[in-house]
Amino acid sequence: MPRRAGGERARGVRLMAFDVDGVLTDGTIFVAAGGEEMKAFNILDGHGLKMLREAGVQLAVISGRTSAAVERRARELGIDHVLQGEQDKLPAFESLCARAGVAPGACGFMGDDLPDLPVLLRCGFAASVPGAPQAVRRRVHYVTRAPGGHGAVREVCEVVLAAQGKLAAALKSYLR
């Protein structure tokens, strides 16, 4: 049964970091004949990230791969920290926490695969997607209903906002 707890842990999140492939995307990578890599990002996820940032939560991406598409999308969304090419994500996460001035326990991380486990086990609020391996799903605080790349990030953003009592304010400007 998928885990949906985590509200109490999400309340303390001051920085929320995300893996890319399988979380911000559905994990599909398109490679053009010339070698250019393309990814598809969900607009609902993007707006969720903007709402979270506007509520005062710092945003980060920690990815094992390097992609110009990720760099561009992160810039468009105002993501504060973009760490790519990080094969060992735990040292990258710990460095990020130090640079951002946020304790690991006040950070959230959303990942979907075994290389994400060290960070998922170290952060204060760990989230994943339903397509993640059981070894990941069993160890996180929250598993989304939506799959990666199809609203899962938005769902987590709203969980954090709700836990912090900020979701109603984030929605208010749209409910005139």
**How many domains does the chain contain in total?**
1
In a domain, 176, yes or no: no
Give the CATH number, domain containing residue 27. Answer: 3.40.50.1000
In a domain, 1, yes or no: no
- Would you put residue 85 in left (φ > 0), alpha (ψ -120 to 50) or beta? left
pLDDT single digits (tens) 79-110: 999 999 999 999 999 999 999 999 999 999 99
In a domain, 63, yes or no: yes
The angle that helices 152-163 and 43-54 make with each other, rounded to 10 degrees, is 20
pTM of the model: 0.95
In a domain, 39, yes or no: yes
pLDDT of residue 3: 63
